[in-house]
Amino acid sequence: MPISHNTRSFHGYKRLILILLTLAATTLSGCSTFDGMFNKLSFGEDDDPKSLPPETLIVQGMDAYNVGNYNEAVKNFKIILDEHPFSAQAMLAELKAADAHYYNKQYAEAKILYKAFEERHPTNEAIPYVMFQIGMCDYSRSDRIDRDISGPQEAIKSFTRLINAYPQSPYAKEAKAKIIDSKEFLVNHEYLVAVFYVRTDRHEEAKHRLKYLLAMYPDSNLAPQAKALLDHLEAGNAPSWGMSRWLPDFMTKTPADREEEAQPEEQPAEKPKTESSQSEIEAK
């Protein structure tokens, strides 16, 4: 049976549609490939740190850490933790990220990372060090004695926890020394506040502070001075100030001032020795 003109036109139209669809798909695929090549060439994906293996990232991070470039170090460690959390390098990256924040004086951030490491790896051999560093994050926040005292207070708790958990740790001895320093900081703070209350005629509050100091820190260096001041107040004989008498040197003088005052005393002792040595050299 002969094919009508309309039938041939219909089949030709279908072929045309198929050809156009094929061309469109090829064009779109080509554009996608071209776009991918363009993006790769334009934006340098090969140089993106996220594309590097963890072995390379840890080396880069440690290189930056060792020269004090802590921000760059943290960046590499963070990529390891984000992109390769189950790699062999991840645990070291966790610990060194905390260290980098600590040495960059970002103590709050460092403490969070140290505590997270301790929670995730409670049996790791580095835990005594991590616990010591948690204490150091608090200890390092200690500023002037007339300011916030939460740093030394938290440091004492952290160092005590380390000593109780790992009494034979090489960090235990240093932790004990830091506890002594932290307590001395708190003693100085209490005494300075008491002196402030005396100077502003708030004697009852001053007595309360001095009694607290003596009860909590009876063996401190300032205990005798605090006891003498308390005795004056309880006898109704508040001292007339007199800062040099009632405050230690470190509260009223800068280190440079104290060094300058000590200089004349040291000089005469050194001079004869120098002259004697010079005479011996000349005699020879």
1.20.58, 1.20.1630, 3.40.190, 1.10.10: CATH of 46-106: 1.20.58
Q: Are 127 and 121 in contact (CB under 8 A)?
A: yes
The Cα 259–Cα 214 span in angstroms is 30
pTM: 0.67
CA 221 to CA 181: how far, in whole Å? Answer: 12
Is 163:174 a contact under the CB 8 Å cutoff?
Answer: no
Structure tokens at 242: 């007199």
Cβ atoms of 249 and 226 within 8 Å: the answer is: no
What token pair was written down for 247?
A: 């405050």
Q: How far is CA 25 from CA 2, 15, 16, 34, in A?
A: 36, 16, 14, 14
DSSP codes, 99-164: HHHHHTT-HHHHHHHHHHHHHH-TT-TTHHHHHHHHHHHHHTT---TTS--HHHHHHHHHHHHHHH
Residue tagged 């001032």 (tokens) = 257
Distances (CA, A) of 66 to 71, 93, 163, 190: 12, 14, 29, 40
Question: By the 8 A CB rule, do 98 and 119 touch?
Answer: no
**pLDDT tens sequence for the chain (284 residues):** 444 444 444 444 445 444 444 444 444 444 444 344 334 333 344 455 557 999 999 999 999 999 999 999 999 999 999 999 999 999 999 999 999 999 999 999 999 999 999 999 999 999 999 999 999 999 998 766 556 788 999 999 999 999 999 999 999 999 999 999 999 889 988 998 898 898 888 999 999 999 999 999 998 888 999 999 999 999 988 887 655 566 665 554 443 443 455 454 444 444 334 333 333 333 33
Amino acid at position 7, single letter: T
Tokens encoding 106: 């970002």
